[in-house]
Amino acid sequence: MEVINNWEFKLSAYRLALSTLGFDTQTIAPKDGSKYRNERHSFLSGEYYNILTDDTIYNRLLKLDKDSSLNKTDKRKVTLYLKNLKDTKSLSKEEYVEYNKLVLDSSDVWEVARENNDYELFEPYLIKLIEYGKKIAKKRNNNINAYELFLDDYEEGMTIQKYDEFFNLIKERIIPLLKKVVQKNSVNKGIIKGVYDIDKQKEFNKIIMNYLGFDESWSYFTTSAHPFTSGISKNDIRITTRYDEKDILYSLYGVIHEVGHGMYEHQNSDEINGTIFNTAITSGIHESQSRLFENYLGRNINFWKSNYHILQDYFPHLKSVNINEFVSSVNSCEPSFIRTEADELTYPLHILVRYEIEKGIFDSSIKTENLNKVWNLKMKQYLNVDVPNDSLGILQDVHWASGSFGYFPAYALGSAYAAQIFNTMKKELNVEDILSNNKFNLINDWLREKIHKFGASLTPQELLINATGEEFNPIYYINYLEDKYSKLYNFEI
């Protein structure tokens, strides 16, 4: 294994360069330098490809795969690398570099298209990315639907059949629940409307990060067009947000969400720092941590018992809004266009729209032309909203522009995992006391021992069993949403 470990170190050095470049591109790098940057960035990706697909290493991994003396962790490492290598080797170096260049160019075009509400500009890139996706999948495994492969890439073990079952449950139970909530419309969301100075928002965000244990000695915080977390290493965690002067929740809950992602990677054990156990963490498990922070903890009234008076000091017009009114407002539901700003109840329906489109693209039941129109129809069908333009519709997310198909469903899955994890956490910890008395470190300690320290050294299924004692069970999520919203909007299920 020593040769593998040395090779892995070399890979991590290249990844450090590539991810720092990526972070730079998305935050501070000037637009006009993008051509020069993208060409060099692509070149470095090619170098990374060379190291990753080294034949001597590949042959050694194949040998180790048959070695029965390997311990469980090494065996898992070999399995993950072999899968990764087989997939990467399915493309020639030229194709790999060409694909990476396409992704970089598409992301740049997407940004301009979104700003100018110009889907026509982006559409040819999207179609090319879909074609590339199909081509890559065919090379990897000709006998299986491309979308099956992609779903498994983002969430190991997930299949179309499993997601179909999950989303059918969402359709059966969440759509009728949403209809009742919309009919009732009894929570006054407008009560917290006002102007929120952006500098003050930044200061308040830092106070919340501090409350959550997100320490400046190993983290960095800035703004970007699309909020994200970049875990460069466990002690170099960078998160971003964006601001709206008219909406205090916009940036705040984005920050709490990204802190959840960041805390996960920071609390990976030292041994897995820079290894595939850090890079191969599945999207669903990652998202369960951000959703846990954002919704299950961050929208909890006990969270606000510690923090609401500070928010009121920063923004005195909130002094006329009591904590119960504020927390109701923070938890209220209103169908809208943008996924990242969606409330907990409509969120899985935003994902359902994307899931059905992706599934349709790859089984060819949906044409790749005019996907913006399909998008708008599905938004009407499931959320009953009329999307006014493509910037608020199909152009809102960066994922497809970066070639990530099959990523979205893991978001809804993450919310459902989080419900199951939260259910166990409440049995083992006094969450109420912890949140209202500033003891968040106890939650971080619990998460480190149950989930964070393992990274991808355990499969998602193993992690869930380890943390909650049972396999994934979506009923916790459905029950949580039904219970929460029927109480908040005062009706019987």
CA 59 to chain centre: 34
| Stretch 145-164: interaction string toward Zn ion, x if CB under 5 A | --------------------
Minimum distance of Zn ion from residue 283's CB (angstroms): 8
| Nearer to Zn ion among residue 46 and residue 227 (C-beta) | 227
Q: Which residue has the tokens 């493309």?
A: 91
Minimum distance of Zn ion from residue 459's CB (angstroms): 20
Q: What is the DSSP letter of 403?
A: T
Q: Which amino acid is at 23?
A: F
| Nearer to Zn ion among residue 290 and residue 420 (C-beta) | 290
**Total residues binding Zn ion (CB under 5 A):** 1
| Nearer to Zn ion among residue 171 and residue 226 (C-beta) | 226
| Nearer to Zn ion among residue 358 and residue 397 (C-beta) | 397
User: Could you give the CA distance from residue 145 to residue 149 in angstroms, rounded to a whole number?
Assistant: 7
| Nearer to Zn ion among residue 75 and residue 339 (C-beta) | 339
| Nearer to Zn ion among residue 119 and residue 355 (C-beta) | 355
User: Could you give the CA distance from residue 134 to residue 157 in angstroms, rounded to a whole number?
Assistant: 20
| Nearer to Zn ion among residue 53 and residue 290 (C-beta) | 290
Q: Which amino acid is at 487?
A: K
**Cα distances (angstroms) measured from residue 318 to each of 194, 323, 385:** 9, 9, 30
| Nearer to Zn ion among residue 77 and residue 261 (C-beta) | 261
Q: What is the DSSP letter of 232?
A: E
Minimum distance of Zn ion from residue 339's CB (angstroms): 11
The kind and range of the H/E element at 118 are none
Q: What is the footprint of Zn ion within residues 231-290 (CB under 5 A)?
A: 290
Which three-class secondary structure state does DSSP give residue 482?
helix
β-strands 229-233, 236-241: how paired? antiparallel
Minimum distance of Zn ion from residue 258's CB (angstroms): 7
User: Which two structure tokens, joined as six digits, stand for 411?
Assistant: 């978001």
Minimum distance of Zn ion from residue 433's CB (angstroms): 28
Minimum distance of Zn ion from residue 290's CB (angstroms): 4
CA 85 to chain centre: 24
Minimum distance of Zn ion from residue 329's CB (angstroms): 23
Q: Which residues pair with 223 in a beta bridge?
A: 241
19: left (phi over 0), alpha (psi -120 to 50) or beta: alpha
How many CB atoms within 10 Å of residue 94? 9
Tell me the H-state helices in 321-404: 323-331, 347-362, 371-383
Minimum distance of Zn ion from residue 256's CB (angstroms): 11
Strand order in the sheet with 236-241: 219-223, 236-241, 229-233
Q: Would the CA dihedral through 137, 138, 141, 144 be positive or negative?
A: positive
Q: What is the DSSP letter of 238?
A: E
User: Could you give the CA distance from residue 143 to residue 159 in angstroms, rounded to a whole number?
Assistant: 15
The residue whose Cβ lies closest to Zn ion is 290
| Stretch 282-301: interaction string toward Zn ion, x if CB under 5 A | --------x-----------
User: Could you give the CA distance from residue 408 to residue 378 in angstroms, rounded to a whole number?
Assistant: 16
The closest alpha carbon to 287, from 380, 174, 418, 435, belongs to: 418
Q: What is the footprint of Zn ion within residues 31-90 (CB under 5 A)?
A: none
| Nearer to Zn ion among residue 335 and residue 414 (C-beta) | 414
> Which residues, 6 or more positions from 55, have their beta carbon under 8 angstroms from its beta carbon?
none
E strands within 169-295? Answer: 219-223, 229-233, 236-241
Minimum distance of Zn ion from residue 257's CB (angstroms): 6
Minimum distance of Zn ion from residue 224's CB (angstroms): 14
Is the separation of the CB atoms in 256 and 293 below 8 Å?
Answer: yes
Which of 111, 123, 148, 258 is an active site residue?
258
| Nearer to Zn ion among residue 76 and residue 257 (C-beta) | 257
DSSP string, 283-337: HHHHHHHHHIIIIIITTSHHHHHHHHHHHHHHSGGGGGS-HHHHHHHHH-----S
| 258 assigned to active site | yes
List of residues contacting Zn ion (CB under 5 A): 290
By annotation, the residues acting in catalysis are 258
